[in-house]
């Protein structure tokens, strides 16, 4: 197992933050992911100032969107999101108001929630807690964080929807944040740059 010094960790975190937020394109994408259509939507949206950054106690961006070596195995994989490191238990906020489509805790994504906001779909993975069925409805429940959110529920922008955990396939506490527009994956770093610019 590789142990990183605190100084090396800070340098790596700074490099990743600069890389994710200032590069024109974090990774080149296969055309099948609809990058051009989604990119036009990202740059043309004038309402980004109404969105919410998804993590409290942000520390660093630890893995960008696109192809990367598989951190838990061999070969390459497509990483359909942005990994945002924060201390275990940090609250996760809803990026944009919408309806809860799915809550789940039985995939590599760990405990997760997926919301729909118009043409946008946003997913949050590796959260604390789990799924419980209460009165016939599926809920994401994190009792220690006072979170209980049901499938079909409307959730406003900026609402706390969970906490950073280490469920599913993960090497450390972080939020995996994935975005789709019209069914195509979008680089969340591009969205964060557009939010910052507005």
> How would you label 161-173 residue by residue, b for 16+ Cβ within 10 Å and e otherwise?
bbbbbbbbbbeeb
3-state secondary structure 55-77: ECCCCEEEECCEEEECCCCCCEE
- CB contact at 8 A, 57 and 180: no
* Structure tokens given for 107: 């995939």
The pLDDT tens digits for 79-137 are 789 999 999 999 999 999 999 999 999 998 999 999 999 999 999 999 999 999 999 99
For residue 16, what is the domain's CATH number? 2.70.70.10
pLDDT tens string 59-85: 999 888 877 777 666 777 877 899 999
Give the domain range for residue 67.
Answer: 6-24+32-197
- Contact between 21 and 196 under an 8 Å Cβ cutoff? The reply is yes
- Whether residue 79 lies inside any domain: the answer is yes
In the beta sheet, which residues pair with residue 131?
140
Q: Is residue 64 part of a domain?
A: yes
Residue 19 inside a domain? The answer is yes
- Total domain count, the chain: 1
Residue 1 lies in a domain: no
User: Could you read off the pLDDT of 143-190 as tens digits, one per residue?
Assistant: 999 999 999 999 999 999 999 999 998 889 999 999 999 999 999 999
Whether 187 is in a domain gets the answer yes
pTM, two decimal places: 0.76
> 75 lies in a domain?
yes
């Amino acid at each position: 197992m590789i142990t990183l010094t605190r100084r090396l960790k800070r340098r790596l975190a700074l490099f990743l933050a600069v890389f994710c937020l200032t590069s024109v394109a974090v990774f080149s994408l296969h055309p099948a992911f609809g990058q051009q259509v989604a990119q036009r939507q990202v740059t043309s949206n004038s309402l980004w100032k109404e969105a919410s950054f998804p993590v409290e106690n942000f520390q660093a961006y630890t893995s960008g969107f696109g192809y990367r070596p598989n951190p838990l195995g061999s070969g390459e994989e497509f990483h359909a999101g942005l990994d945002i490191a924060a201390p275990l238990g940090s609250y996760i906020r809803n990026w944009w108001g919408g309806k809860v489509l799915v809550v789940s805790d039985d995939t590599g994504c760990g405990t997760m929630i997926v919301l729909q906001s118009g043409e946008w779909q946003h997913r949050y993975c590796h959260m604390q807690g789990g799924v419980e069925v209460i009165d016939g409805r599926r809920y994401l429940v994190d009792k220690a964080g006072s979170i209980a959110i049901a499938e079909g529920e409307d959730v406003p922008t900026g609402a706390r929807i969970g906490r950073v955990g280490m469920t599913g396939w993960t090497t450390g506490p972080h939020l995996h944040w994935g975005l789709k527009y019209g069914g195509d994956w979008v680089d969340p770093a591009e969205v964060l740059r557009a939010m910052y610019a507005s």
